[in-house]
Amino acid sequence: MNRNPIPAAILAVVWLVLGAAEPAPQPKTLTPSEAAQQGLALVTEILAQRPSANITNKGILKTRDAHGKRTQIPIQFELLVTPTNWQNLYHASWTPATNAAAVTQHLTIQHDGRSSDKYELRQITLDPASNLLSSSSNTTLTGSQIMTPFAGSDFWVADLGLAFLRWPDQRIVRTELRRSRSCRVLESFNPQPVPGTYSRVLSWLDVETDAVIQAEAYDLEGKLLKEFDPKKVKKINGQWQLEEMEISNVQTGSRTRIEFELDQK
């Protein structure tokens, strides 16, 4: 099937909200060998997909913690396509507290469809008195380092890069209906789980589009840690783009939503 995907955080999270509900298919359970074979084939296909055009969207990163405290941080998302790779860039600037230093983070996630994704996080801090540069760091994130919050939110760098698709152990455990869409349920296992990371991720992928319409991440003890929920999409100039996505940390009670301001020209 010919697809026109949007990669990384928007690679597989664009799901089509179309028409009435389809008849519920009978759940299908695969044998262990079928599960591993089909899981690897599906993930290989997804990772090889390339976007067709650049995208730039502005938005708001909205977080509400367990105590009801709310924060809003302006962000900008860019998708840049080159002849050899494509990059997802996230930019966010905020002031953590009154009279505190202003912080800017630039996250770059580079894909080429073959080798492992590359993550680079640059952070700039300004002196609160002079508004001049106080410190600057540029870090290449590897391994469990990508399990770090972006802009202090519930979205970790690994979430924005859909890093679980790069884990070697991928299994299609069943097919079932989710949100009125026929889905393959993909179970991804972290090869080197440590405290503070995901041990596995369950994701529901639309059979037609390979879109992730829901995902659950589990901690080292196998307890549910996060729930990922794409909220809204819009078709802009013939291309589906994500308008809202939300992630909840069920263990802390915090949740973060990204709302994009889509250009409809």
C-alpha span between 2 and 251 (Å, rounded): 40
Q: Which spans in 20-114 are helix H?
A: 32-48
CB-count burial class (<10 Å; 0-12, 13-18, 19+) for 181: buried
Pair 226, 160: CB distance under 8 Å: no
112 half-sphere exposure, CB direction, 13 A CA radius: 6
Structural domains of the chain ordered from first start: 9-16+26-261 (2.50.20.10)
C-alpha span between 29 and 38 (Å, rounded): 12
Q: What is the DSSP letter of 156?
A: B
141 half-sphere exposure, CB direction, 13 A CA radius: 24
Give me the pLDDT at residue 16, please.
Answer: 30
| pTM attached to this predicted model | 0.83
Average pLDDT per 10 consecutive residues for the chain, totaling 265 residues = 41 32 52 89 90 89 94 94 93 84 94 88 85 82 95 96 95 89 94 95 92 94 94 61 87 95 63
H or E element, residue 113 = none
Pair 86, 7: CB distance under 8 Å: yes
Give me the pLDDT at residue 28, please.
Answer: 59
